[in-house]
Amino acid sequence: MKKLICLLFACALCSVFALTACSGNTGSSNADSSSSSEDSGVAESAEAEVTQADIEKMIVGTWVTAERGGQPELTSEKVVFDIISDTKARVSAQFELAPGEPLTWMDFWDADVVIDGNKVTITDHPGENATVTSEMTILAISPDEFTANHEVVLTVDGAEAGRMEDVGRYVKVDADYGESILGTWEGHSVTGDSEDFRIECKADGTYVYYLKDGDEWVATNDTLNEYYVAANLLCLRWVEDGQESRDYWEIAIDGDTMSWTALREGDDGKTFTDTRELKRVA
């Protein structure tokens, strides 16, 4: 149940992506920095209560989890909130409706937003009989980030199925790489021992993954092979030998160069950063 709740948000859930089985990949989170209230216009409850006007002025935009409970968020658990207005939003995340059930695979789904004083409530329906209600008390907000105490409640078939309370920090991401990722990219590991690879990202949300055999690039026998990009987060999933796998990356694209990073947790419980560098080849 703890996994279920943590996968949930701030509006509930974990993030979504996939690639490890094909490539042996793993990754890292981007460094996020906060600015002082005097220099950046942050409204902080320690100095002055955050007002509804502050929130309405600065909340519109795309926000990605940076920290939860004072710790950097693993890339695989990041959530994207696309706040369209003070009444509407979209949420991108992965989650399970009940312990042991498969994680959902969703890009964005619609959510309602209510702002009342310094509280923001986001309500969405990620499943046919599921409702997630997230109430955030904004502690500090600027045009670039906000911090909030939040309580998340998951209801399934009218009954409470999970609840979470914690403190989260979210950073605004202006980039959206959904179009610029299209094409074929050749990559290698900067950290770790994974093989060089190619990935062809298609406009229909599928991809082809290639490994080198001698001098030839050969497509793997994986099936499914779906991906999506939410802001700066790349989510991939595939099926290999009947087993579905997923991988999650934070990406940046500059012309014909793309980088993948992700913060992971190893079997020893320690976090590590994995990085890939890719060049467009077609």
Q: pTM for the whole thing? A: 0.79
Domain with CATH 2.40.128.490 in the chain: 183-280
pLDDT at 99: 67
Rounded average pLDDT over 16-35: 36
Q: Sheet containing 243-254: which strands, arranged edge to edge?
A: 216-219, 207-213, 197-201, 183-189, 271-280, 257-265, 243-254, 233-240, 223-230
Left, alpha or beta for 21 (phi > 0: left; psi -120 to 50: alpha)?
Answer: alpha
Parallel, antiparallel, or unpaired for β 130-141 and 243-254?
Answer: unpaired
- What's the mean pLDDT in 189-214? 90
Domain 2-18+41-172 part of CATH 2.60.40: no
% of the chain surpassing 90 pLDDT: 62
Local confidence band at 98 (pLDDT 50, 70, 90 cut-offs): low
Give residue-wise pLDDT tens across range 237-269. Answer: 999 988 999 999 999 999 999 999 999 999 999
Going by CATH, does the domain composed of 183-280 fall within 3.40.50.620? no
pLDDT tens for 29-87 read: 343 433 433 444 445 434 568 999 999 999 999 999 999 999 999 999 998 999 999 99
75 or 26, which is more confident: 75
Could you give the angle at the alpha carbon of 136 between the alpha carbons of 131 and 38, nearest 5°?
A: 155
pLDDT at position 204: 96
Assigned token pair, 273:
């950063």
Mean pLDDT of 150-168: 89
Provide the pLDDT for residue 236: 94
